[in-house]
Structure 1
Amino acid sequence: MKEVLTQINGIPIRENFVENLPYNPKLKPLINGKRKAGILSEVIFWKQVRAKSFHNIDFDRQRIIGNYIVDFYIKNLGLVIEIDGWSHCTKEDYDEIRQKYLESLGLKIFRVTDFDVKNNLGVVMKSLEDFIVENYAY
């Protein structure tokens, strides 16, 4: 039986740690550049979730999984959080291939738009709560 990671609105959330994720060390130099770029929506979201401030859940920022760098990752849930900005409008095929790959590893993906993070942060955080409850509740 999996451990209870946290509770959201009184609902126990089970751990779903995905082991042995592939890792491409050649991507490591790109991570610091992505962090230093300070994409506003990522910074805003990070301020909401860093230091276990969102339901005591530990988030990683700019995590390498296989040949991809995901925006945010919750290792105790096997959950990727992607913030899609304007550049994703031209990369639908790439995003679909990437998402299928991540899902093939047993990961779940929560997508949100850059616009919503900047303009509807409360709705984004509530949607994330709902997604976690829907997918990880006991």
Structure 2
Amino acid sequence: MLKPSERTRTNARRGRSDPTLPEAVFWKFLRDRRLEGLKFRRQLPLGPYIADFACPSIRLIVELDGGIHALRAESDAARDAWLTANGWTVMRFAIEAVLTHPALLFEAVRHHARLIRR
């Protein structure tokens, strides 16, 4: 796997210090191993990319997609392909879902974690 560049690391640090509202809400439920005892990291640099939330132990990335992602479908697909080729599973959720139905998102992540741990 490619080592993240200094620029990628700097952008990840900036994302951790100034999260969007949906990211802050989602992180509140993921931090401190609150979800299935899994340790998640936020704004994790992976090669040339930054994962919104990543759980290295089960190689899971959770992405929260805002409206801009509708315009970036092709680059998101290339990004997901690179991450998948490097052994990660990517789950994408609309940011609106975090604010309106967060329990559904957490249940989807729980379900995936249980499948992986079997």
Q: Of Structure 1 and Structure 2, which has the larger fraction of its residues in helix?
A: 2
Provide structure 2 residue ranges, at least 5 long, that are not aligned to the other structure. none
Root-mean-square deviation (Å): 1.2
Structure number with greater CO (CA < 8 Å, separation at least 6) is 1
CA shift, 1:41, in A, is 0.8
Q: Is 2:76 aligned against 1:128?
A: no
After TM superposition, the score normalised by the length of structure 1 is: 0.80
Q: Is 2:52 aligned against 1:71?
A: yes
Q: Is 2:54 aligned against 1:84?
A: no
After TM superposition, the score normalised by the length of structure 2 is: 0.92
Q: Which residue of 2 aligns with 1:7?
A: none
* Larger deviation, residues 83-92 vs 28-37: 28-37
CA shift, 1:35, in A, is 2.0
SS at the partner of 1:22? coil
Provide structure 1 residue ranges, at least 5 long, that are not aligned to the other structure. 1-20
Flag the structure with larger Rg.
Answer: 1
Q: How many residues align?
A: 117
> Which 4+ runs in 1 deviate beyond 6 A?
none
Q: Distance in 2 between matches of 1:33 and 1:87?
A: 19
Q: Given that residues 71 and 80 in structure 1 are in contact (C-alpha distance below 8 angstroms), is that contact kept between their aligned partners in structure 2?
A: yes
Q: Structure 1, residues 30-86: CA drift from partner, whole Å, max 9, x if none?
A: 122212332011100100010111111100110011100010110101111111111
* Larger deviation, residues 26-35 vs 92-101: 26-35
Q: Distance in 1 between matches of 2:37 and 2:14?
A: 28
Q: Which residue of 1 aligns with 2:42?
A: 61
Q: Which residue of 2 aligns with 1:10?
A: none
Q: Which residue of 1 aligns with 2:2?
A: 22
